[in-house]
Structure 1
């Protein structure tokens, strides 16, 4: 990550933009960045394209984190992207954003923990790092400027984006421990902010995913492949908690007329096999089937056009080759 200089953003109209259907990591990261800017006497607004998920909305309300929806991008000359770096996650703002960006109406910097691709909005890598959450990225960049509230928000993002530590590494737990110690909150207090009542739709998605799961054993590791219409990412995380070492959940996006594959990998599996979902699975899948990929070592997604059978067979072949070489 390059060194970040706040002084260049004084006297700018700044927007802190979360991805569509913003989650706890995105809203916590945006709140941290807003507080950091405020320390430098720099004003900013937090926004989401049109929707924030229920959990993040409840958290924002409790913490009095103000945000707007459907911002008019013409008002801003600096936009920070929080927890994303992909045009697809701009939702209904995509068209306006793309036009104004081409006109150089604003500058863009992304704070994100996903792999930078050629198609990424911001390819500078100023605020992008291979961490487990965007709040962890911000902590590593600006640790010396953090206060109690920022440490607390960092903990929330790290818990949420690891599925309550289903994935992790030594650096994550070290960072989390430091943030927890300096947050003036107990672990149980922070956990309360990451729990929410599961809606019926998500319950059904999880149950259908488990019911439809096909189990494959490769080199003593369990690979689970399933399909569901909605919540593919959350469903893939749930399969890990049920015992899978790698979970692959396929779905169809009718809105975009494309196929989606959400992938998750357990930390032990990754370390034991030196396995990275993006580098070792999805880049190979992309070579075979085309499409777009994004994510990081333990949580990633492919989007393209291929049948469930073709995607499944390709993924299993790639994993077998990696594990049995």
Structure 2
């Protein structure tokens, strides 16, 4: 907490020193509810202490569910950004600049202060680029990190900010399935500040689009299964909805699922595993799989212990072979 207090103080000092105070809170492409809710809450927290002109933006816009969430909470996520209009950038739930897509080079070339607030595995690219890096890797969501910043800096969380953070917590923990003790502590504090858990869960309810349901079914049809010891490792390929399909394969019984594919020469791979697989093998998808695979495809990779992703170029079949090589090496019985 002492380190976080220092980081929070530096962050507030950066914001306070901006003239004019114009900040763009940037979320990753197709931003999920944790990203947009943590950005919204952080923007409101800072606005209580400083007079800000601010925006929340995500390349090409937020996800369908995030648009529903933002509409219910009363804020907007912009799909476009004029970088020259803003005095600083805060990357929220975004651990590498490549997740900003076409905005990456604009932010790099702007020469303006960049802060990062996140909970994913630290990425060297971002660590070198940002001026302030507040990354709490063992947190289950960026919403948790925003609460911790507020707590460390003595910032007051109002009811609407508390509700936004509750939605973010609920989303990234899969309705608290992956909650840790700190998550429950934070959730309790948010309730004290006016957050409604039941309303947060209702906000996250959404009928899956037909195209996504079809993609999941196709992933099952194309599934290629490998057995490594006691573990079932499943690969599939889709041009879209890779993350959703990987989650579906886990739900069908896979211990680890990897779904790859893409459009226009870009390759995207989504990795998912069960909590049991992580606890017994200690294989962290972000560090142990996504990073080495990203190096092979000349792209970027990272994420959480049980959910990670890679973007780059190359052949999905080669990636399957590389993942299997890594798994066989790490799961080889110790002599």
TM norm structure 1: 0.87
- Give the equivalent residue in structure 2 for 1:109: 115
Q: In the aligned structure 2, how far is the partner of 1:186 from the partner of 1:117?
A: 34
Q: In the aligned structure 2, how far is the partner of 1:163 from the partner of 1:85?
A: 20
Q: 1:313 aligned to 2:321? A: yes
Q: 1:291 aligned to 2:299? A: yes
**1:30-67 Cα distance to aligned partner (Å, 9 max, x none):** 11111111220331222233312221112111111144
Q: In the aligned structure 2, how far is the partner of 1:210 from the partner of 1:148?
A: 43
**1:67-96 Cα distance to aligned partner (Å, 9 max, x none):** 434122111111111111333322343443
Q: Which of 128, 152, 166 is the equivalent residue of 1:155?
A: 166
List aligned pairs for 1:62-73, cutoff 5 A.
62-73=72-83
Q: Would the aligned equivalents of 1:18 and 1:48 in 2 still touch at CA under 8 Å?
A: yes
Alignment gaps of 5+ in structure 2: none
Q: In the aligned structure 2, how far is the partner of 1:92 from the partner of 1:36?
A: 28
Q: In the aligned structure 1, how far is the partner of 2:130 from the partner of 2:102?
A: 22
Q: 1:174 aligned to 2:184? A: yes
Q: In the aligned structure 2, how far is the partner of 1:179 from the partner of 1:202?
A: 36
Q: Which of 16, 24, 29 is the equivalent residue of 2:38?
A: 29
- Give the equivalent residue in structure 2 for 1:126: 133
Once the two structures are TM-superposed, the CA of residue 135 in structure 1 deviates from its matched residue by 0.9
- Give the equivalent residue in structure 1 for 2:267: 259
Q: In the aligned structure 1, how far is the partner of 2:327 from the partner of 2:118?
A: 27
Q: Across the two proteins, how many residue pairs are aligned to each other?
A: 318
TM norm structure 2: 0.85
How has the CA–CA distance of structure 1 residues 52 and 283 changed in structure 2, closer, same or farther, with 3 Å as cutoff? Answer: closer
Q: Would the aligned equivalents of 1:132 and 1:172 in 2 still touch at CA under 8 Å?
A: no
Q: Which of 231, 241, 258 is the equivalent residue of 1:231?
A: 241
How has the CA–CA distance of structure 1 residues 62 and 316 changed in structure 2, closer, same or farther, with 3 Å as cutoff? Answer: same
Q: Which structure 1 residue ranges, 4+ long, deviate > 6 Å from structure 2?
A: none
Q: In the aligned structure 2, how far is the partner of 1:308 from the partner of 1:268?
A: 26
Once the two structures are TM-superposed, the CA of residue 172 in structure 1 deviates from its matched residue by 5.6
- Give the equivalent residue in structure 1 for 2:254: 244
Give me the CA root mean square deviation: 2.4
Q: In the aligned structure 1, how far is the partner of 2:108 from the partner of 2:82?
A: 13
Q: In the aligned structure 2, how far is the partner of 1:109 from the partner of 1:73?
A: 15
- Give the equivalent residue in structure 1 for 2:200: 190
Q: In the aligned structure 1, how far is the partner of 2:60 from the partner of 2:322?
A: 35
